[in-house]
Amino acid sequence: MTNFLKRNNVKVYGQGDKVMVFAHGYGCDQHVWTDIATSFENDYKLVVFDYVGAGQSDLSAYSKERYNSLEGYAQDILEIYEVLELKDTILVGHSVSSMIGLLAGVQRPELFSKLIFLGPSPRYLNDGDYFGGFERNDLEDLFNMMDNNYLGWSRALAPSIIGNQERPELGERLTNSFCATDPEIAKQFARVTFLSDNRKDLARLTVPSLTLQCTNDIIAPVQVGQYMHENMQNNTLVIMDATGHCPHMSAPEETIKAMKAYLA
């Protein structure tokens, strides 16, 4: 039988009765939450983990078939919940984990009291009237560059994703995280992430949610956050002053403040 806690390098800490689960984005691992998690550990029990292929996860658990869609990752979250006997939790998902968390919430709404989305996107590709921010040929160029030189791609793209060019240490931190991810798994996860279309799933979520939308985000433009808000029930949208795609790293204080205001 698979040891789900070892598979996903699950860590549990903190004080409170209420549980907050942090799900990292593409190319990252659980360490990206360090700057904001400390502000919640006195009031919540915190759960952090690594997706298979990231951080200290069990690489031998990777299956191309299972992880050929975001549903496979959502299943991982539900299995972690089952082992830890979690329910009525707050799930905080960054980027692609917003949709992974949403899929888990659609499947088992009773496990979640609230979902918090940082820089979410239900569809990265432009499609008719829908603006996701990317054309198909943009993504094909991205995938080709990854296939030819994943480390070079990571070093070129990570600083642009995080934004905040005046703080190069942030780009360096994200680059190191990208470079620590298994390249073959990262290539498949990129395709699964960027080619997914979860627009129809938005209306299926009954759990209340918060969308934290950054300004000048090259991965999830403001129009995407507005689309999320307009197509979901019980969704609160906050447009942040923070720029780039990783406010939990670049603007932890503003992110914490927005989360606490929502949870209050």
Using only the alpha carbons of the chain, give its radius of gyration.
17
CA nearest 30: which of 175, 159, 177, 160? Answer: 177
Given 29, 50, 76, 217, which residue is catalytic? 217
CA 223 to chain centre: 18
How far apart are alpha carbons 46 and 49 in whole angstroms?
A: 10
Is position 197 annotated as part of the catalytic site? no
The answer to whether the CB of 232 falls within 8 A of the CB of 201 is: no
Please tell me whether residue 19 adopts helix, strand or coil conformation.
strand
> CB atoms < 10 A from the CB of 143, how many?
16
Given 57, 245, 248, 250, which residue is catalytic? 245
Helices (H), the chain: 4-7, 34-37, 70-84, 96-107, 136-148, 150-162, 168-180, 183-195, 199-202, 222-230, 247-250, 252-263
Is position 24 annotated as part of the catalytic site? no
Beta bridge partners of 111: none
How far apart are alpha carbons 21 and 91 in whole angstroms?
A: 5
Is position 217 annotated as part of the catalytic site? yes
CA nearest 8: which of 29, 26, 35, 36? Answer: 29
Given 29, 50, 57, 95, which residue is catalytic? 95
Length of the chain: 264
How far apart are alpha carbons 240 and 234 in whole angstroms?
A: 19
* Residues labelled as active-site residues: 95, 217, 245
